[in-house]
């Protein structure tokens, strides 16, 4: 069985995230979507439990997807799960520079794990969780940015009273 890890902070989940997850599900027998703690990000809008719950709700009908959280080295988690690959979505060259460095470190720590980059659809190139948070906090319409099934939860969690 070919297992991959699809890690991220998913704060919140966007349609871009779901596009990468759906495409990975076509390439691998099992995709473990993993909410990771990112040491470079400290003020999350949603708890780890909320982000896991959002992802579980969005992937509930997909047989080959599991959702978990992990706080540690990604390669250790991949080894524990018997994964052969880490799947990362790329939007721009700046994403590649950071993710390429991470892929090299992961390869150094675990030679058996490969990193697979999936290029985002052009319609999602601008999209990030940060963009969603900023637009939503100030009352903007996030309809096309986040999955419908969790949109109201995101709006309730982010909207500022102005």
Q: Which domains does the chain have, with CATH numbers?
A: 3-122 (3.40.50.620)
Contact in structure between 4 and 28 (CB atoms under 8 Å): yes
Residue 160 has pLDDT above 70, yes or no: no
**Catalytic center residues:** 17, 41, 91, 129
Mean pLDDT over all residues of the chain? 93
pLDDT at 116: 97
Sheet containing strand 85-90, edge to edge, reads 65-70, 30-36, 3-8, 85-90, 114-119
38-52, 100-114, 126-140, range with the lowest pLDDT:
38-52
Reported pTM: 0.92
> Side-chain half-sphere of 41: how many Cα atoms within 13 Å?
16
pLDDT of 42 above 60: yes
Q: What is the pLDDT of residues 7-26, one digit of tens each?
A: 999 999 999 999 999 999 99
- What pLDDT, on a 0 to 100 scale, did the predictor assign at position 17? 96
pLDDT grade for 162, boundaries at 50, 70 and 90: very low
What b-and-e string marks burial along 54-67, b requiring 16 or more CB atoms within 10 Å of the CB? bbeebbeeeeebeb
Task: Report pLDDT for 161.
Answer: 55
Using the predicted structure, report yes or no on whether residue 81 has a pLDDT greater than 90: yes
Structure-model confidence comparison of residues 92 and 2, the more confident one: 2
| N-terminal to C-terminal alpha carbon distance within the chain | 51
* Neighbouring residues of 23: CB distance < 8 A, sequence distance ≥ 6: 118
Average of per-residue pLDDT across 110-122: 94
Residue 92 vs residue 30, higher pLDDT:
30
């Amino acid at each position: 069985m070919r297992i991959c890890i699809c890690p991220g902070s998913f704060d919140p989940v966007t349609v871009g995230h779901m596009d990468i997850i759906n495409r990975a599900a076509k390439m691998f027998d099992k995709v473990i979507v993993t909410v990771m703690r990112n040491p470079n990000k400290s003020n999350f809008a949603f708890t780890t439990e909320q982000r896991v719950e959002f992802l579980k709700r969005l992937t509930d009908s997909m047989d080959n997807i599991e959702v978990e959280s992990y706080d540690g080295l990604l390669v250790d988690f991949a080894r524990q799960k018997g994964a052969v690959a880490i799947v990362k979505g790329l939007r721009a060259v700046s994403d590649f520079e950071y993710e390429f460095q991470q892929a090299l470190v992961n390869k150094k720590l675990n030679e058996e794990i490969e990193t697979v980059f999936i290029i985002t659809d052009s319609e999602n190139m601008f999209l990030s969780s940060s963009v969603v948070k900023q637009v939503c906090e100030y009352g903007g319409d996030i309809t096309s940015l986040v999955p419908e099934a969790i949109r109201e939860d995101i709006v309730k969690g982010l909207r500022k009273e102005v």
